[in-house]
Amino acid sequence: MDFATPRRRRPAEAIVPMINVVFLLLIFFLMSAQITPPAPFDVTLPESENDNAARPADTLYMDAQGQLAFNTARGEAVYDAIAARAAPDTPLQIRADARLEAQALARFLPELAARGIAEIELLTGMP
């Protein structure tokens, strides 16, 4: 018979599996997270009662003064960048400031149609 006292585990050995689980969770969340680029300027979305969430797509930004931004293009270069976008069959999302006049947006839409954009989505926020 072996009456020797059982070998005690060191406290560090008990923590190693927990550290492994934490690192695996960290890797999982980093791999599954969707990292979006920051907005080129601050835009306050108009409010809507509709709760349909927008799917990720190409987004055109318009501020209250009518300045345009699309990916890295700014100003007049936006038109060429929109025409050369990777997925022309998907709708173009417009993230316009709530203070932007509707006439300014309406004047902009024929420019998009001339470059082959047939469908747009105007993003809104919840009240």
The pLDDT of residue 11: 64
Q: In which residue ranges of the chain is pLDDT below 50?
A: 55
Per-residue pLDDT, 86: 65
Given a contact cutoff of 8 angstroms between Cβ atoms, the answer to whether 121 and 93 are in contact is: yes
* CATH architecture for the domain at 59-122: 2-Layer Sandwich (3.30)
Q: Output the pLDDT for position 32.
A: 84
Average predicted confidence (pLDDT) for the chain: 81
d(CA 12, CA 98): 56
Residue 24's pLDDT is: 93
State residue 9's pLDDT score: 64
pLDDT at 23: 92
CA distance 13 to 2: 25
On whether the CB atoms of residues 105 and 62 are closer than 8 A, the answer is yes
Counting every residue written for the chain, the total comes to 127
Amino acid 80: pLDDT: 86
